[in-house]
Structure 1
């Protein structure tokens, strides 16, 4: 794959790299809580922003909703189509598009959700506003984001010691895991509520998690490949495994996240 040139292409490259879909099943309990928090009812018009492999969209469809999934990464959309077809559904609408410029009219959906999706947009603030824009007054907007005080924040600190980020801010998505940040961006348009949760990634060792999360999967593999020095790569791995060990017990890596739910004001 050639090096991407634009910010949007960089985002696409990061999240379509390696075996990222292998991580997706670990998020299924968090997705179920997200859909439940939205109060999805049969017949609701639901939009899944940054739908990825389609698990949140499929969960909402199983609740009886009329579902649309949007993602900037076309390979992910193909995986999403395959997943919903396997489940016996042929009526989920899959759309290629950017979260920061959603290709839908105002007030188009009863529920707009994003499972660790819109927060990774290169223009996440605009993406958040877009989610509110396409939700009808009184509708629900909800999303999940990794916590800066949890494992993802700790691993980001480790990565910062080894990798320079000239083209993006590695902490940008984690700010959506701070309640004050979310209130500042969406509080004028939504009545917000927050819930701290733990996602449990099932692995037999921290080394197995690191292989999937960093070596072979999407989130960190491009950054690791940017390290040409083998000694630095080895040192980064050891520091990361030491951090992971603090969050590992009973064949589980515990990853803290924030679940945000908003009810859109009468005029958004």
Structure 2
């Protein structure tokens, strides 16, 4: 299953999120001022990178995602942490919630992957009450993650006509255009999350090949073409070696830039 949402069910994205980007959820919760008495929707929530910290902060939280397997992982993680929230299977482009239903609407490296960017952005605005907050963290066009997806692109089926890279959500001018007249203000900051848990570049490539859905899907599609599969492995290793900022002898170190964006809804 590699269609809408299915690609994120391959491998173990909950593990990847927990072990590489977990702290970004707390950053977004703090930036949005989430706390008791607020009703919060986390869109494309995955396994709860933002939703669980928001619930821990005392908010009434709904976590929505198109991938059931990630919701199940999130439920398990929330139960382990002793927090309660609602988990709803939903498409970010057609959310099953009323207009103006939430005080805060968030997404962490999630809504940016919706194919119809204007539709997804319009949904964020629609379900957030006037005067409410939309908070996002998105990979930037110049980030290591953008380079990673660009490396994968030649080994994936061609994108549909009109395709816009998801990392465009990490460009302030593009994000402002997407949210349009639905917001009064937009504040952005560039941050980095450091990944330095791997002993060398080969280890991070192996890790993503095992656990990161887009790589798992690409490798599966090339499974009967060993030449192309070897080309993909070499391309990913070359990227990992070229961008390694760690000391000689390891561990490898990667700084992943993202855009923190907080908007006030009209």
TM-score (norm 2): 0.89
Contact 1:158 1:240 in 2 (8 A): yes
Q: How has the CA–CA distance of structure 1 residues 241 and 170 changed in structure 2, closer, same or farther, with 3 Å as cutoff?
A: farther
Contact 2:9 2:67 in 1 (8 A): yes
Aligned to 1:229: 225
Matched, 1:178 2:177: no
Alignment: residue pair count: 257
Aligned to 1:197: 191
- Unmatched 5+ stretches in structure 2: none
Aligned to 1:56: 50
Q: How has the CA–CA distance of structure 1 residues 212 and 124 changed in structure 2, closer, same or farther, with 3 Å as cutoff?
A: farther
Whole-angstrom distance in 1 between the partners of 2:265 and 2:216:
37
The residue matched to 2:21 in structure 1 has which SS? Answer: helix
> Deviations 1:10-68 (Å, cap 9, x if unpaired)?
12111110122221121112111111111112111111111111131110011111111
User: Which one of 110, 113, 122 corresponds to residue 120 of structure 1?
Assistant: 113
After the TM superposition, which segments of 4 or more aligned residues of structure 1 sit over 3 Å from their partners?
Answer: 160-164, 166-171
RMSD: 1.9
User: Which one of 84, 93, 115 corresponds to residue 78 of structure 2?
Assistant: 84
Q: How has the CA–CA distance of structure 1 residues 225 and 171 changed in structure 2, closer, same or farther, with 3 Å as cutoff?
A: farther
The residue matched to 1:232 in structure 2 has which SS? Answer: helix
Q: CA deviation at 1:169?
A: 7.6
Contact 2:28 2:136 in 1 (8 A): yes
Aligned to 1:15: 8
> Deviations 1:185-232 (Å, cap 9, x if unpaired)?
113221111111112223222222222223432132212222242122
Matched, 1:30 2:24: yes
Of 37-46 and 236-245, the range deviating more from structure 2: 236-245
TM-score (norm 1): 0.89
The residue matched to 1:51 in structure 2 has which SS? Answer: coil
Aligned to 2:96: 103
Contact 2:117 2:178 in 1 (8 A): no
The residue matched to 1:181 in structure 2 has which SS? Answer: helix
User: Which one of 57, 66, 72 corresponds to residue 66 of structure 2?
Assistant: 72
The residue matched to 2:256 in structure 1 has which SS? Answer: strand
The residue matched to 2:34 in structure 1 has which SS? Answer: coil
Contact 2:140 2:257 in 1 (8 A): yes
Q: How has the CA–CA distance of structure 1 residues 42 and 223 changed in structure 2, closer, same or farther, with 3 Å as cutoff?
A: same
